[in-house]
Every structure is written in C-alpha cells, then in structure tokens.
C-alpha cells in the first residue's frame, strides 16, 4: 500500500464522507507546484480553489506567521490585538470600505453581510419582514443562511430555512431584478463574477443597472468577492473594473492565502444603522494569527504589485486558452472569464479531462459538469502557462 493509499484509507474510515475527493494526498508545495505523499509533483492551476494566490512555500509569508506564533495565537474578542487593528486598516484602505468584521471563512462572511443588511432594514422601519434578491446559479456557501441565497436547487435540497424570504433573479438580466423588487425588498446579493455557476462575469450595463436600482429604491447592494476578489480578476476587487462600489462586500480565500480567514465590510452609512455591540460575534474572528496572515498578504500584494502582474499575464493566459479552444473547437464551446478566473465550457462532462490532467501532473477543477475552471496562483509566469497549455492540449486529445 502506497503512502497516499494509507492516508486515504485512514480518512475514509474516520471522517464524515461529505466530499467527492480526487485520489491525491497533497503533502507539500513549492511555488506553482504541489507534491503528493508518494513524491509526484503537480502544476497547480486550482490554487486550493483560488486561495494560494502567492504560491506555495512563500518564505516571507511563513516567517510572518511563525513570528506571530511566537507572540500570541489567540486572544478572543474580549480584548484588542495588534494584528487585527493593522489588518482592519489595511483591508479598508484597499477595499474602499469604512468598516470591516473578520470571520473564519467566506461562508461566515456571507452570513454577516446578510445579517447586516437585515439589521439595517430593521433599523429603518422596525420591521423584520424583509426579502433579499439573489441570483440563479449563484453560490455563496453551505451554512443555512448562505444556502438560502445560493441559487442552485441541488445545494438547497432538504434545507429551506428562509423559504419565501429570498427571490431569485437571472444573472445579467436587469429586467428580471426590477420585476422582483417590492416593498419588502431590502438588499440584492450577487457575485461580481459567478464562480461555481460556471465563471460568468457581470456585464457592465447589468451591474451598473443593479447599483442604480438599489440607489433609486433604497436597497443595499452586497457584492460577494470571495473568489473573484483579491486581485484575481485584474483589479484588487472585481467591482473596481465597473466603476461602482457596493454597500457591503465579502472577502475570503486569497485574503489569508491558506490561513482560514474571511471578512465582510461595509460603508460607514451602513455601519451607522446596522450591527452594534452584542449583535454579532466570533470567538476566532479577528484571531491574531489569521490577521497576521492578512497583513502579510496585503503587504506582499502592494510590494510585489500582484495586481499589475495579473493584468500583464492575463492576455498570455487567455491566448493559451483560446488556442486550446481553437484546437478542440468540436468539443469546446467557449472560453470566458476575467483575469486568472477562467473557464473552458465543453459540450460534454469535463471529469475525464480533469482526471487525465492529474495523471499528467496538472491540477484543474470544474465549475459545473461541463465547465473546466482554471484558478492559478496569481504569481504564475509565462512558462507555467505554456506547460499547462501543452498538458491540456494533450489530455483533451486523449479523452
């Protein structure tokens, strides 16, 4: 029995079986590559589902975490801590928001964002009978609240905690949003670029129209930037490309580059009429170790100008994917995406392509049954893109 088989057997025996995992046990990482328990290396174009933005084995990042571990790892929110203060300032500066709350995950960030919108509406009219507009094919997380605004019946099957409180519009269809607004509507929640739903960027007219609709009707706009934010789409946050600003936004994934941390942030206007002392909390939220990670991530983004690198490399990545699409035009319907959040839509399931790519040492994932999703670390170079292109061309031909 190989090392990988040993660990897979152990986990299958003792953990709750909620994941359909690939048969790979990742043991270490270096740069663009991860290595499994049997010593096989993989070029990683999934980056832990858009998490490992700075690549694996980043020494400065590791040193920052080790330094914080030597000081204090946890304090609880009964006390202040230095990394949380610095992280809050840095995050507000790069996001354009005025107030932030740190969570442990993206899902928790969604919960806090929705809770903030509901509290804001309650503070305005004293009613707790409000509705939220979300979108078909969206994904916001797997807790009960996040599932309620996730526009995929498969994920919600068996769980209907907010039945009748959430209405679903069609993404990139402004009219479908307008027709759902009523006197109970308090907010619109949407991904700036839909991720799990197949990598669909918002069309400029659509997202600007939603922003104007919210302004005209007195609604809050919540933008989910958990996957598409933190530089992945060629700006620090994807909404910047559209010249708008949300009332509330969420972040996670690359925010901690592997350390579990998320955030929801808001304008001062929302903060003034939203959550107050005792309304929300988290034992681990704003943890010194997690916030030390946030500080170091944001420091490196600025020092290394990660966003400019994404903009520089995006045409290279898109050209490589367009060439793959051209080479396999009988099987690939479309290439779409923004920055390093790209998709190839096939006319058949992509599972065989993903499996073959793993055999050839390349990690890619899906976004729906027929969509191949590419989410490389934000520090990839031309040679990494070329290698991934060669492997994908080969495995598509072989499947």
pLDDT recorded at residue 212:
98
- Can you give the pTM of this predicted structure? 0.96
Tokens standing for 173? 């269809």
Structure confidence at residue 7 (pLDDT): 92
Write down the mean pLDDT value for the chain: 96
According to CATH, where is 3.40.640.10 located in the chain?
Answer: 61-304
Architecture (CATH level 2) of domain 305-371+380-386+392-396: Alpha-Beta Complex (3.90)
Give φ, ψ of 393 to 5 degrees: -55, -45
What is residue 133's predicted lDDT score, i.e. its pLDDT?
A: 98
List, for residues 16-47, the tens digit of each pLDDT value. Answer: 998 989 999 999 999 999 999 999 999 999 99
Residue range 268-298, pLDDT digits in tens: 999 999 999 999 999 999 999 999 999 999 9
Tokens describing residue 37: 């328990």
Average pLDDT over residues 216-222: 98
Of the candidates 376, 368, 369, the one whose C-alpha atom is nearest the C-alpha of residue 392 is 376
Query: Parallel, antiparallel, or unpaired: how do β-strands 131-135 and 185-191 relate?
Result: parallel
Task: Name every residue whose Cβ is closer than 8 Å to that of residue 345 and which is 6 or more positions away in sequence.
Answer: 198, 332, 333, 334, 335, 336, 370, 371, 372
Say if domain 61-304 classifies as CATH 3.40.640.10: yes
Confidence band (pLDDT; 50, 70, 90) for 1? confident
List pLDDT tens digits, range 373-395: 999 999 999 999 999 999 999 99
Q: What is the β-pairing status of strands 341-346 and 332-338?
A: antiparallel
Mean pLDDT computed over 100-128: 96
Q: pLDDT-derived band of residue 303, with 50, 70 and 90 as boundaries?
A: very high
The pLDDT score that the predictor gives to residue 153 is: 84
Residue 81 in this model has a pLDDT that exceeds 90:
yes
Q: Which residues make up the CATH 3.90.1150.10 domain(s) of the chain?
A: 305-371+380-386+392-396
Out of 84-93, 100-109, 122-131, 330-339, which region has the weakest mean confidence (pLDDT)? 122-131
C-alpha 339/C-alpha 317 separation (Å) is 8
Mean pLDDT of 193-208: 97
Strands 99-103 and 166-169: unpaired
| pLDDT over 80 (residue 163) | no
Segment 320-373, tens digit of pLDDT? 999 999 999 999 999 999 999 999 999 999 999 999 999 999 999 999 999 999
Average the pLDDT over 244-271 and give the result. 98
Rounded Cα–Cα distance for residues 229 and 57 (Å) = 22
Tell me, what's the pLDDT at 176?
98
CA separation for the pair 40, 47 (Å, rounded): 17
CA dihedral 178, 179, 185, 186 (to 10 degrees): -10
- Please give the pLDDT value at position 154: 84
Distance CA 293, CA 277 (A): 26
Q: Which pLDDT does position 155 carry in this prediction? A: 86
pLDDT at 160 over 80: no
pLDDT at 158 over 90: no
Question: Could you please report the per-residue DSSP string of 122-161?
Answer: HHHHS----EEEEEBT----SSHHHHHT-B-HHHHTT--T
Is residue 60 scored above 80 in pLDDT?
yes
Q: Residue 225: pLDDT band by 50, 70, 90 thresholds?
A: very high
Task: Please report the DSSP string for 325-392 in residue order.
Answer: HHHTTTTEEEEEEETTEEEEEESS-SHHHHHHHHHTTEE-EESSTTEEEE---TT--HHHHHHHHHHH
Given a cut of 90, whether residue 161 has pLDDT beyond it is no
Question: How many Å apart are CA 190 and CA 136, to the nearest integer?
Answer: 10
């Amino acid at each position: 029995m190989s090392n990988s088989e040993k660990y897979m057997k152990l986990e299958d025996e003792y953990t709750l079986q909620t994941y359909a995992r690939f048969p790979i046990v990742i043991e270490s990482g270096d740069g663009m590559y991860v290595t499994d328990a049997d010593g096989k290396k993989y070029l990683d174009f999934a980056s832990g589902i858009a998490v490992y933005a700075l690549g694996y084995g980043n020494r400065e990042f590791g040193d920052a975490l080790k330094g914080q571990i030597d000081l204090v790892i946890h304090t609880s929110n009964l006390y202040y801590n230095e990394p949380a203060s610095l992280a809050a300032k840095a995050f507000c500066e790069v996001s354009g928001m005025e107030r932030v709350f740190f969570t442990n995950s993206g899902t928790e960030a969604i919960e806090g964002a929705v809770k903030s919108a509901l509290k804001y509406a309650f503070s305005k009219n004293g009613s707790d009978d409000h509705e939220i507009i979300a979108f078909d094919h969206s994904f916001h997380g797997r807790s009960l609240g996040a599932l309620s605004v996730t526009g995929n019946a498969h994920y919600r099957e068996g769980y209907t905690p907010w039945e009748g409180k959430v209405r679903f519009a069609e993404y990139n269809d402004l009219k479908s949003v307008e027709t759902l607004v009523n006197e109970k509507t308090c907010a619109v929640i949407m991904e700036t670029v839909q991720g799990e739903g197949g990598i669909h960027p918002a069309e400029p007219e659509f997202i600007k129209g939603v922003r104007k609709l919210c302004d005209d009707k007195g609604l809050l706009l919540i933008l989910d930037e958990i996957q598409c934010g933190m530089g992945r789409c060629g700006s620090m946050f994807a909404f910047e490309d559209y010249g708008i600003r949300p009332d509330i936004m969420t972040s996670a994934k690359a925010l901690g580059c592997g350390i579990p941390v998320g955030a929801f942030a808001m304008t001062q206007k929302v903060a003034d009429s939203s959550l107050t002392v005792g309304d929300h909390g988290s034992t681990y939220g704003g943890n010194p170790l997690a916030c030390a990670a946030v500080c170091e991530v944001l420091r490196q983004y600025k020092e290394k100008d990660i966003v400019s690198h994404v903009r520089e490399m995006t045409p290279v990545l898109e050209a490589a994917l367009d060439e793959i699409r051209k080479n396999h035009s009988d099987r690939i319907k479309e290439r779409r995406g923004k920055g390093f959040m790209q998709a190839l839509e096939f006319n058949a399931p992509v599972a065989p392509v993903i499996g073959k790519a793993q055999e050839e040492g390349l990690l890619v994932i899906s976004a729906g049954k027929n969509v191949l999703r590419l989410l490389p670390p934000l520090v990839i170079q031309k040679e990494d893109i070329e290698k991934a292109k060669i492997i994908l061309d080969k495995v598509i031909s072989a499947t």
